[in-house]
């Protein structure tokens, strides 16, 4: 491996640090299952909304990822959105928001 390849690797590692640490494939599958089933209880199996608002890419496009991540972790007091901190880490919540905003968990 030459220095160039190393630099590219370093760069991609550095940028990955800003995005969420991607979960292992097994954990990603578990999170996706949770999203559609448990979150789906309020947001709909296809995330098109229910008692909870839609979580489609279109619905979340313009919303800041930080605040959406915080909503997942700590819920929204006064609404029916519960806190999921006992079940997902901060990284996992951020990863979920990324997937949702990119419509990658349809």
Contacts with another protein, residue ranges (CB under 8 A):
36-38, 40-42, 44-46, 48-51, 75, 78, 80, 82-83, 87
Q: Which is nearer to ligand HEC, 20 or 72 (CB)?
A: 72
Q: With CB cut-offs between 5 and 8 Å by kind, which of another protein, ligand HEC, none does residue 40 bind?
A: another protein
Q: Which is nearer to another protein, 25 or 86 (CB)?
A: 86
Closest listed residue to residue 20, CA positions, set 72, 57, 58 = 72
Burial 56-67 (b: 16+ CB within 10 A, else e): bbebbeeeebee
Residue 19 C-beta: closest distance to ligand HEC, Å: 17
Q: With CB cut-offs between 5 and 8 Å by kind, which of ligand HEC, another protein, none does residue 68 bind?
A: ligand HEC
Determine contact, residues 98/19, Cβ cutoff 8 Å: yes
Query: Cβ of 105: how many Cβ atoms within 10 Å?
Result: 16
Question: Residue 93 is encoded by which pair of tokens?
Answer: 């919540």
């Amino acid at each position: 491996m030459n220095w160039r390849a190393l630099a590219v690797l370093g760069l991609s590692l550095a940028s990955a640090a800003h995005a969420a640490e991607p979960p292992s494939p097994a954990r990603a599958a578990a999170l996706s299952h949770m999203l559609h089933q448990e979150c789906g209880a309020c947001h709909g199996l296809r995330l098109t909304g229910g008692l909870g608002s839609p979580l489609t890419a279109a619905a979340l496009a313009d919303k800041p990822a930080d605040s959406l991540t915080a909503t997942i972790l700590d819920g929204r007091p006064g609404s029916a959105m519960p806190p999921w901190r006992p079940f997902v880490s901060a990284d996992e919540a951020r990863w979920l928001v990324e997937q949702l905003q990119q419509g990658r968990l349809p």
